[in-house]
Amino acid sequence: MVKIRLKVVDIEDVELKRLGKEPNIFTRIFVLISYQRKDGDFLTRRAILDTGAIVSILPASIWKQLDIDVIGYHSIKGIVKKESCLLPVKICLVKNKLIDEFGNETKIFKSLIYCASSNDVPVIFGIKDGLDKFKLNLDIKQKDAWLIN
């Protein structure tokens, strides 16, 4: 069994604070992911752990460095459903592993990941071939979170 510690962080929304609106503090959960590059080494990035994201997503600046297997093409949309807000993506299989600051790491596993055509997206660790491989233990009040497999 491997336990990967997650980072639970409070983030201030500067626009809400500027407007004097409460609450202006939101909680984010982050995970460290190492993606296998074309040369076999790994590229590590901090990803938003998103239980509402069906699939993980990578911006172009990251996935273009990786050893990916493109299996299709798609367009995705988020909360705004307008055609003008569609984001073209490559549907890819990517080898990756989770790590944490204590030296814990998972075995390498393949994930289905949407590779965005631009850098206008954050690195997101979603459900398909990602979170669905782990048990999530989360205590937001205590800022304590783990992924266990």
Beta strand pairing status for 42-49 and 109-116? Answer: unpaired
pTM of the model as a whole: 0.91
Would you state the pLDDT for residue 80? 67
| CA-based end-to-end distance of the chain | 6
Place of tokens 């984001």: 87
Per-residue pLDDT of the chain (149 residues; tens, 9 = 90+): 999 999 999 999 888 888 887 888 899 999 999 999 999 999 999 999 999 999 999 999 999 999 999 999 998 887 767 777 788 999 999 999 999 999 999 999 999 999 999 999 999 999 999 999 999 999 999 999 999 99
Answer whether 148's CB lies under 8 Å from 1's CB: yes
